[in-house]
């Protein structure tokens, strides 16, 4: 027998004019047990949809809402009974924790995903947080549109097959994007399994199978050529915002630093006397030291004495703007610079090849600086081990695609042997 009194009531709050709010009013509850625990039920209704005691009336979701209210009452009573039987001190915090735990059991997947993301904010980059929020929205959308319950006990291989169909058929995503999404979903499920929330282990076998065709979407690396970089460097720019974007691009192309590293580069990380940048990368936490060259020295010297503080009052080496704005303005800069050459792009959706041809400026983003730097290192003969120290790459396989692009020059040189003059000369020599 529970000795706890649970009462439901509407929030009484007034608007700016002093009138009691009657639209979209939260339903609150109060649990009296010697002390008093008050909280919200998470339900909002209009005042005339409340029966004045403990239930909702004349609302499209009356049945659902009233079931939620009954469940809250039962949960509070069960928590109280458990505390009495097991001699647990009854307190407001006890009920808070107990309700939260029970709600996770009932609505596990998305509630836990919220917890997972909140914990991740302490160690992830903002882009990773955004990625997980996007995946959560995808899964909610999948559940609603396909009328499939997205809960841990439903995550079998059949669920996975339907999710993959949803990604490809409904959203028209490409293989590389779907593959990354699966990786992130599995990361959350591993976290949930380790903590005992998920018992369904089919996800360990989830892999995207699309056939045997090569799926490289970076078949041709999008980087600036040497003439393109020099042209952008020499452009006469009066607009200060565009000028700063150009400076960002030159700095990125001449150091190989990611956007996140340039945006977080402190003035104390730059040794102007010795001519070195000392950087602990944001993405991987690796330490690198990059000597100045003519381009990076000019940009860093330019902003050396310019006041530029972050929100914590730390003086930064470069006045970067947001990544989103940087990407947008880089495209505008590249278009103005005449980077209109049409570039072929290959994607795959399952086993179907998708060919596109787009102007190069549309492919320009903040990451092109890093790709350009590595490409230049290859063209200029910098040993791969040295390049990897600059960029903190750990695997030679990651660098191989850049060295493959170098082979194009060698292939072109060999193909010149098929010139008309060479063939005629060969014919004459053979005749003699």
Whether residue 31 is predicted with pLDDT greater than 80 in this model: the reply is: yes
- The mean pLDDT of 12-25, rounded to a whole number, is 87
Cα 265 from Cα 278, distance rounded (Å): 9
What residues contact 214, with CB distance under 8 A and at least 6 apart?
Answer: none
Q: What 8-state DSSP symbol labels residue 210?
A: -
Q: Token pair 């009194």 is at which residue?
A: 5
Cα 296 from Cα 273, distance rounded (Å): 14
Please give the residue that has the higher pLDDT: either 216 or 426: 426
The partner residues of 32 in beta bridges, in order of sequence, read 5, 36
Please give the residue that has the higher pLDDT: either 357 or 398: 357
The partner residues of 50 in beta bridges, in order of sequence, read 56
pLDDT confidence of residue 67: 85
Mean pLDDT across the chain:
88
Burial (CB < 10 A; 0-12, 13-18, 19+), residue 383, is exposed
Cα 279 from Cα 258, distance rounded (Å): 11
Q: Which two tokens stand for residue 256?
A: 């190989």
Whether residue 412 is predicted with pLDDT greater than 80 in this model: the reply is: no
> Range with the lowest mean pLDDT among 19-33, 224-238, 240-254, 327-341?
19-33
pLDDT confidence of residue 218: 42
Which of 42-51, 85-94, 99-108, 288-297 reaches the highest mean pLDDT? 288-297
Q: Which two tokens stand for residue 395?
A: 């695997």
Q: How many residues does the chain have?
A: 432
**What CATH class does 226-414 carry?**
mainly alpha
- For 192-205, the pLDDT digits (tens) are 888 777 888 999 99
Q: Where are the domains of the chain?
A: 5-106, 109-205, 226-414
- The mean pLDDT of 131-156, rounded to a whole number, is 91
The pairing of strands 270-271 and 352-359 is unpaired
- The mean pLDDT of 68-89, rounded to a whole number, is 89
- The mean pLDDT of 71-81, rounded to a whole number, is 90
Whether residue 217 is predicted with pLDDT greater than 50 in this model: the reply is: no
pLDDT confidence of residue 17: 87
- For 315-374, the pLDDT digits (tens) are 999 999 999 999 999 999 999 999 999 999 888 898 888 899 999 999 999 999 999 999
Cα 72 from Cα 230, distance rounded (Å): 67
């Amino acid at each position: 027998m529970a000795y706890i009194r649970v009462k439901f009531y509407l929030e009484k709050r007034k608007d700016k004019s002093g009138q009691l709010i009657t639209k979209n009013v939260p339903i609150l509850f109060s649990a009296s047990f010697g002390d008093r625990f008050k909280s919200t039920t998470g339900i909002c209704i209009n005042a005339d949809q409340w029966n004045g005691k403990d239930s909702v009336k004349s609302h499209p979701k009356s049945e659902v809402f009233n079931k939620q209210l009954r469940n809250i009452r039962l949960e509070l009573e069960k928590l109280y009974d458990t505390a009495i039987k097991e001699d647990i001190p009854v307190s407001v915090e006890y009920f808070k924790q107990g309700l939260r735990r029970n709600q996770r059991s009932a609505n596990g997947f998305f509630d836990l995903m919220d917890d997972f993301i909140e914990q991740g904010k302490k160690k992830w980059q903002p882009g990773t947080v955004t990625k997980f929020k996007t995946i959560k929205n995808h899964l909610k959308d999948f559940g609603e549109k396909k009328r499939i319950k997205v809960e841990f006990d439903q995550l079998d291989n059949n669920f996975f097959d339907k999710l993959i169909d949803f990604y490809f058929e409904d959203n028209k995503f490409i293989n590389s994007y779907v593959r990354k999404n699966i990786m992130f979903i599995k990361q959350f499920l591993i976290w949930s399994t380790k903590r005992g929330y998920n018992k369904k282990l089919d996800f360990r076998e989830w892999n995207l199978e699309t056939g045997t065709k090569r799926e490289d979407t970076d078949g041709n690396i999008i980087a600036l050529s040497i003439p393109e970089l020099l042209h952008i460097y020499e452009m006469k720019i009066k607009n200060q915002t565009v000028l700063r974007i150009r400076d960002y691009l030159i700095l990125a192309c001449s150091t190989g630093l990611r956007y996140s590293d340039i945006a977080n580069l402190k003035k104390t990380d730059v040794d102007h006397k010795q001519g070195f940048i000392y950087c602990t990368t944001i993405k991987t936490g690796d330490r690198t030291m990059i000597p100045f060259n003519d381009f990076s020295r000019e940009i860093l010297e330019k902003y050396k004495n310019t006041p530029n503080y972050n929100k914590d009052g730390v003086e930064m080496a470069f006045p970067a703007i947001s990544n989103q704005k940087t990407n947008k303005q880089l495209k505008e800069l590249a278009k103005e610079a005449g980077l209109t050459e049409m570039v072929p792009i290959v994607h795959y959706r399952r086993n179907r090849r998708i060919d596109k041809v787009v102007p190069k400026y549309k492919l320009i983003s903040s990451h092109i600086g890093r790709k350009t730097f590595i490409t230049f290192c290859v063209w200029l003969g910098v040993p791969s081990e040295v390049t990897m120290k600059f960029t903190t790459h750990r695997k030679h396989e990651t660098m191989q695609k850049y060295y493959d692009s170098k082979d194009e020059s060698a292939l072109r040189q060999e193909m010149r042997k098929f010139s008309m003059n060479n063939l005629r000369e060969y014919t004459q020599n053979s005749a003699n």
